[in-house]
């Protein structure tokens, strides 16, 4: 193959990547990461999808702590599959399956006040997620996907939900707790931060989370054909990454300001510090244990750059 032909062959990928980075306001360094790590990943998934003989869509899980780039990766893969390979893709985020605010308020009243805060296992509608995965796996059409509005801390109106009209070839499921395994009673017995010490002294909240993982989440994660992990260097990085996300949400909210209450749902720094402690236990747990279960691990540094890819034997 001549250099000119090789350049022509790669031009559609470069065009897609340029447009994607502009759309998502990503730095030039992301293009290097994508070409080195994420386009080859997409090629592997497409090869696996084509080699499958059961006519069912592949279900790909993407795990990563808050701010790790999992949502961006899922969106990039979705565009690669649909644009370059003409595949029908369902791009799902576990965040869109949070229980409604009213449902979480009821859980807070019935079980534990900390269940009002979205995020941890036990605050998602896993029955709805499982049902949608089943419909998509069976090739059904007109499958309706919920959408969650983090700025209002509640679901969007159903009129704003997405409808998938065609049978899909690939399902992407991204989320910070995708693939998580339960902890042992010994691990649950010790509080790991001030939130647990002050507000979950009887371990009710964290035991409820653990039971939810075992009963409701594992059956979903066991359906994954492949699990990809974007592995943060430590929990210490997660807060600063999450803070950047909140700043983006605040800027977006201000830009779209329509009323004096437009910043409702955007957290202050103090609120964010408390909020992130809800995630600390399982984030630390997953950083330590999930590499044993993930098929592909992209190790990240504090600047979100991939330093290494590891494949499970």
Total Cβ atoms within 10 A of residue 308 = 11
Q: Running DSSP on this structure, what letter comes out for residue 124?
A: B
Looking at residue 264, its pLDDT comes to 52
Looking at residue 240, its pLDDT comes to 82
CB under 8 Å, gap of 24 or more: what pairs does 44-53 form? 45/77, 45/81, 45/170, 45/226, 46/81, 46/85, 46/87, 48/225, 48/226, 49/87, 49/169, 49/170
Looking at residue 7, its pLDDT comes to 41
Each residue's pLDDT tens digit in the chain (313 positions)?
333 333 445 889 999 999 999 999 999 999 999 999 999 999 999 999 999 878 899 999 999 998 899 999 999 999 999 999 999 999 999 999 999 999 999 999 999 999 999 999 999 999 999 999 999 999 999 999 999 998 899 999 999 999 999 999 999 999 999 999 999 999 999 999 999 999 999 999 999 999 999 999 999 999 999 999 999 999 989 888 878 777 777 777 666 655 444 455 577 878 888 889 999 999 999 999 999 999 999 999 998 899 999 998 7
Evaluate whether 208 touches 200 at the Cβ level (below 8 Å).
Answer: no
Q: What is the C-alpha separation between 72 and 34, in angstroms, rounded?
A: 11
Helix (H, G, I), strand (E, B) or coil at 192: coil
Question: Could you give the domains of the chain?
Answer: 13-311 (3.40.50.300)
Q: What is the C-alpha separation between 182 and 210, in angstroms, rounded?
A: 5
How many residues are present in the chain?
313
């Amino acid at each position: 193959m001549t250099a000119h032909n090789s350049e022509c062959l790669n031009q559609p990928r470069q065009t897609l990547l340029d447009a994607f980075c502009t759309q998502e306001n990503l730095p030039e360094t992301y293009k290097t990461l994508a070409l080195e790590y994420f386009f080859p990943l997409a090629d592997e998934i497409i090869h696996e999808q084509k080699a499958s003989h059961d006519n069912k869509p592949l279900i790909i899980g993407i795990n990563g702590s808050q701010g790790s780039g999992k949502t961006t990766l899922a969106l990039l893969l979705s565009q690669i599959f649909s644009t370059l390979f003409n595949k029908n893709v369902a791009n799902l985020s576990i965040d869109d399956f949070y229980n409604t605010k009213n449902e979480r308020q009821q859980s807070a009243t019935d079980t534990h006040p900390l269940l009002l805060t979205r995020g941890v296992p036990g605050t998602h509608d896993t029955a709805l997620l499982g049902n949608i995965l089943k419909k998509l796996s069976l090739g059904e059409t007109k499958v309706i996907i919920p959408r969650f509005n983090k700025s209002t801390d509640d679901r969007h109106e159903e009129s704003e939900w997405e409808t998938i009209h065609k049978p899909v070839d690939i399902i992407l499921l991204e989320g910070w707790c995708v693939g998580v395994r339960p902890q042992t009673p010994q691990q649950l017995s010790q509080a790991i931060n001030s939130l647990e010490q002050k507000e979950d002294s009887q371990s009710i909240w964290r035991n409820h989370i653990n039971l939810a993982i075992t009963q409701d989440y594992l059956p979903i994660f066991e359906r994954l054909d492949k699990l990809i992990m974007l592995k943060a260097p430590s929990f210490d990085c997660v807060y600063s990454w999450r803070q950047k996300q909140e700043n983006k949400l605040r800027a977006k909210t201000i830009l779209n300001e329509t009323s004096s209450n437009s910043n409702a749902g955007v957290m202050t720094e103090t609120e964010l510090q408390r909020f992130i402690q809800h995630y600390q236990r399982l984030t630390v747990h997953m950083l330590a244990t999930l590499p044993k279960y993930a098929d592909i691990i992209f190790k990240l540094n504090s600047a979100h750059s991939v330093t290494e890819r590891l494949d499970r034997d």
